Amino acid sequence: MANMVMINGDTRKFTLSPDLKLYALIDAGFVKTVKGNFNYEHPLYNDSPYNAPTKLKMTINKEMTRLTMVVTDRNGLQKVNIFKNKQLAPTVELLNYILKDLEERKIIVAVKD
């Protein structure tokens, strides 16, 4: 886990919002783990979420100070770079929508260089 993360292939960097609240995590769909961390998984799909080739996975630690963010394959085991393939443009668009939603909920913020 880190203070600042980049998704594989993306040029943007993200960090946790200083205004992060527990209820915002729950409202956004984060699930508390046995160890107290907060996990978020969202399939990145075009037609059906059940056939999604990739998914966005995020974890925020229980102190809400560090996070991980990665796009993985369907099984969640391998990192995937959705930015290299032009056919995955709709997937990138959906990822951008999810990230914008998480920013509006004050969960993450984009880091300016």
Both tokens of 77, joined, read 């085991």
- Tell me the residue type at 99: L
Provide the mean pLDDT of the chain.
91
Which domain covers residue 87, as residue numbers? 4-111
- Give the number of domains in the chain: 1
Predicted confidence (pLDDT) per residue in 35-48, tens digit: 999 999 999 987 77
Predicted confidence (pLDDT) per residue in 85-99, tens digit: 888 888 999 999 999
Distance in angstroms (rounded) separating the CA atoms of residues 46 and 44:
7
CB 100 within 8 A of CB 37: no
pTM of the shown model: 0.90
Both tokens of 88, joined, read 């995955």
Asked whether the CA dihedral 111, 61, 59, 28 is positive or negative, the reply is negative
Q: What is the CATH number of the domain that holds 86?
A: 3.30.1820.10
Band the pLDDT of 16: cuts 50, 70, 90. Answer: very high
